[in-house]
Chain A
Amino acid sequence: MRVMVESRMRELRYREALREAMAEEMERDERVFIMGEEVGHYQGAYKVTEGLLARFGAKRVIDTPIAEEGFAGIAIGAAMVGLRPIVEFMTWNFSAVAFDQILSNAAKLRQMSGGQFTVPIVFRGPNGAAKQTAAQHSHAMETFYAQIPGIKVVVPATVADAKAFMKAAIRDDNPVLVLEDERLYGTKGEVPDGDHVEPFGVAAVRRAGEDVTLATWGKMLLPCLEAAEQLAKSGGPSCEIVDLRTLRPLDHHTVVESVRKTGRLVVVHEAWPYGGPGAELVDRVQREAFDALDAPVLRCTGRDAAMPYNKKLEDMTIPDAKTVLAAVRAVMAY
């Protein structure tokens, strides 16, 4: 039963919100454990799991060697027979080494066993470009994973979402991928007290506006907000911002509803422009809101290239407020 009390808010950092969510779920459910490189003694490469080894012990906070395919597979096997693992990838780039385990095993077990086995597992870690970490360490991996039926993909942009979706992911009976972001770990935000869980597949309108809809996820919410503020100050077009929050399931309905009001849509994401959830969203919106569109849907994306190390070039490769503004102007010019 839910008791309605005035929910109090506390300010946390993104990484603390993730940690709280995991700790609360570990308190609640003994089957939940964490496994990954440097999650224990080192307190997490990005300090997300700080303090958890001391609190829960080495049985439940497990340092692994560098063997992503091996420990991802071990966690999947353990989940098949009743445990509920949380697997940390030091960054999502390294999940490529475990891709076969996620694609061929985690995502497939339920279907190919005719529903006999479920895989209640969470894979999590920071995703996307950090800062000058170059070609092999800057992948926005959600674009690959969002294609796979059988798994869920979560990309929390706010601190409250980080906590609520992490809890939801741990409680879900399916493989859930939580793609966090190193550049968000230090951000602060309000988190409601108590046992707050968010449902997958419900986007959030982060800013109401009249003239153009910006649909985005994860860290790219920040340049969208910044661009919208700048436009508001300069008397430019008013932007409505939809944060998709989960990419599978993908809530295009909220975007369609917004487009019915604004008539224009720009999809903003860090991943490469070729295909992916951004293109999927465009496909759905043009079919369901064709009559409402006053302009073609545009996308503002990472450039179609490997990430360069040089800072200036890296900045040119990832969308920022400037490129979002340019896309808004372009879509308004129709």
Chain B
Amino acid sequence: MQDERDVLLGLYRQMVLIRRFEEAAAKAYSQGKIGGFLHLYIGQEGCAVGALAALEKRDYVVTTYRDHAQALIRGTSARACMAELFGKVTGCSKGLGGSMHFFDADNHMLGGYGIVGGHVPIAAGAAFASKYRGDGAVAVCFFGEGSATIGAFSEALGLAALWKLPIVFICENNEYSMGTPLERSLAVADVSQKAVSVGMERDRFRCTDVLEVRDRVAVAVKRAREKNEPTLIEALTYRYRGHSMSDPGKYRTQDEIDERKKLDPILHAEGALRAKGVSDDELAKVNASVEAEVEDCVKFADESAEPDESLIEAFNYA
């Protein structure tokens, strides 16, 4: 068994990688190297990193357009991710999907989806297949609290409970869906209550401590794997940037952002690592290796070829 110190150091590296990767993406976006919508995960890293640490390779991951973190953690290389943002053929979706549509079949990353809530039944479908085959795989579905108000979410939740599907629904409540605070979306403040009406287990916690996230999600994953019982988790978190690059985020105050930054998962992990005796040197080494990886992936993306015109119709049919 790897000791907890090394595990945490590994998760810390994943969180830092996501943040540096996305900072580099934001820069490339402002240079015009990335187009379309670019939604950053910065601030929310504790959620995906903790949750996916509770999974096995055979498990499935489905998420929204805010999907860079999930792909990076599942094992898609930073090169393939950055190349996708640059629209290059070496990207994880061959440059056809872009930021919102990262896919990686080998790593059971079933994709990033652009229609709010539309992907939730897809994740339940992967869980359905797993139960059908009896292969013990669990599906994990991420979505924002904005999905909690749409029909596809409610229907998927109901069916997963009714048919006892091995799935964990993770609602990443980052307080805003675009410019709309939760209280203007939902009549209750606790999204996890949605589970009650369909008879589903639920949990609710903040994503500051990545190890706690891992352990709480692990309980739900075990329930899914061993008993075919789904869980709805409300993961409380916060995004530091606008909804996407085109959103200046004027609907919230700097004070609020500063306040939430005190709950930063990377900051928290740094403190925990120091408490476990990790030296500044060791942390610096991790950060340096991340920076090298990000620098390399930008260079790779820059130098990669664009997809050929023949790819426009190439994937219309199998």
Binding site for B on A (CB under 8 A): 37-38, 41-42, 45, 63, 65-70, 93-94, 96-97, 130-137, 303-306, 308-313, 316-317
A66-B147, A309-B98 known, 10 other contacts, Cβ within 8 Å: A42-B251, A63-B184, A65-B184, A93-B115, A132-B87, A305-B312, A309-B93, A312-B309, A313-B95, A313-B96
How far is B155's CA from A69's CA once the two chains are assembled, in angstroms?
Answer: 13
How far is B64's CA from A66's CA once the two chains are assembled, in angstroms?
Answer: 14
Taking a contact as CB atoms under 8 Å apart, the answer to whether B179 and A68 are in contact is no
Taking a contact as CB atoms under 8 Å apart, the answer to whether A97 and B150 are in contact is yes
Taking a contact as CB atoms under 8 Å apart, the answer to whether A41 and B98 are in contact is no
Partner of A309, one of B101, B186, B251: B101
Partner of A69, one of B101, B151, B316: B151
Taking a contact as CB atoms under 8 Å apart, the answer to whether B184 and A309 are in contact is no
Inter-chain contacts of A133 with B (CB < 8 A):
36-37
Taking a contact as CB atoms under 8 Å apart, the answer to whether A313 and B184 are in contact is no
Residue among A38, A66, A97, A313 having the largest count of chain B Cβ atoms under 10 Å: A66
Report if A65-B146 is in contact (Cβ < 8 Å); known contacts: A137-B114, A309-B36, A310-B87: yes
Nearest chain A CB to B260 CB, angstrom units:
20
How far is B117's CA from A244's CA once the two chains are assembled, in angstroms?
Answer: 36
Nearest chain B CB to A263 CB, angstrom units:
33
Partner of B180, one of A42, A303, A309: A42
Partner of B97, one of A66, A68, A130, A309: A309
Taking a contact as CB atoms under 8 Å apart, the answer to whether A310 and B151 are in contact is no
Tell me if B311 counts as interface (CB < 8 A to partner A). Answer: yes
Inter-chain contacts of A41 with B (CB < 8 A):
179-180, 184, 251
Taking a contact as CB atoms under 8 Å apart, the answer to whether B179 and A131 are in contact is no
Taking a contact as CB atoms under 8 Å apart, the answer to whether B96 and A42 are in contact is no
Nearest chain B CB to A326 CB, angstrom units:
15
Inter-chain contacts of B316 with A (CB < 8 A):
304-306
How far is B180's CA from A41's CA once the two chains are assembled, in angstroms?
Answer: 8
Taking a contact as CB atoms under 8 Å apart, the answer to whether B35 and A131 are in contact is yes
Mostly helix, strand, loop or mixed at chain B's interface? loop
Report if A311-B180 is in contact (Cβ < 8 Å); known contacts: A65-B186, A69-B151, A303-B313: no
Taking a contact as CB atoms under 8 Å apart, the answer to whether A310 and B309 are in contact is no
How far is B35's CA from A63's CA once the two chains are assembled, in angstroms?
Answer: 28
Taking a contact as CB atoms under 8 Å apart, the answer to whether A66 and B146 are in contact is yes
Inter-chain contacts of B37 with A (CB < 8 A):
133, 137
Taking a contact as CB atoms under 8 Å apart, the answer to whether A134 and B97 are in contact is yes
How far is B309's CA from A317's CA once the two chains are assembled, in angstroms?
Answer: 9
Inter-chain contacts of A97 with B (CB < 8 A):
115, 118, 150-152
Binding site for A on B (CB under 8 A): 35-37, 87-88, 93, 95-101, 113-118, 146-147, 149-152, 177-180, 184-186, 251, 306-307, 309, 311-313, 316
Taking a contact as CB atoms under 8 Å apart, the answer to whether B97 and A135 are in contact is yes
Inter-chain contacts of A135 with B (CB < 8 A):
96-97, 101, 114
How far is B178's CA from A65's CA once the two chains are assembled, in angstroms?
Answer: 10
Inter-chain contacts of A70 with B (CB < 8 A):
149, 151
Nearest chain A CB to B55 CB, angstrom units:
26
Inter-chain contacts of B150 with A (CB < 8 A):
66-69, 97
Taking a contact as CB atoms under 8 Å apart, the answer to whether A136 and B179 are in contact is no
Closest to B32 in A: A311
Inter-chain contacts of B114 with A (CB < 8 A):
134-137
Partner of B185, one of A66, A137, A304, A316: A66
Closest to B316 in A: A305
Inter-chain contacts of B99 with A (CB < 8 A):
309
Nearest chain A CB to B179 CB, angstrom units:
4
Inter-chain contacts of B118 with A (CB < 8 A):
97
How far is B85's CA from A310's CA once the two chains are assembled, in angstroms?
Answer: 9
Nearest chain B CB to A45 CB, angstrom units:
7
Inter-chain contacts of A65 with B (CB < 8 A):
146, 149, 177, 180, 184-186
Closest to B117 in A: A66
Partner of A316, one of B36, B98, B309: B309
Report if A311-B87 is in contact (Cβ < 8 Å); known contacts: A131-B36, A132-B36: yes
Inter-chain contacts of A38 with B (CB < 8 A):
178-180
Taking a contact as CB atoms under 8 Å apart, the answer to whether B313 and A305 are in contact is yes
Inter-chain contacts of A317 with B (CB < 8 A):
312
Residue among A41, A309, A313 having the largest count of chain B Cβ atoms under 10 Å: A309
How far is B306's CA from A308's CA once the two chains are assembled, in angstroms?
Answer: 12
Closest to B37 in A: A133
Nearest chain A CB to B67 CB, angstrom units:
12
How far is B185's CA from A41's CA once the two chains are assembled, in angstroms?
Answer: 13
Taking a contact as CB atoms under 8 Å apart, the answer to whether B101 and A94 are in contact is no
Report if A309-B96 is in contact (Cβ < 8 Å); known contacts: A42-B179, A66-B147, A303-B313: yes
Taking a contact as CB atoms under 8 Å apart, the answer to whether A136 and B115 are in contact is yes
Inter-chain contacts of B98 with A (CB < 8 A):
132, 134, 309-310
Taking a contact as CB atoms under 8 Å apart, the answer to whether B149 and A66 are in contact is yes
Report if A313-B311 is in contact (Cβ < 8 Å); known contacts: A63-B180, A66-B117: yes
Inter-chain contacts of A311 with B (CB < 8 A):
35, 87
Closest to A98 in B: B151
How far is B116's CA from A70's CA once the two chains are assembled, in angstroms?
Answer: 14
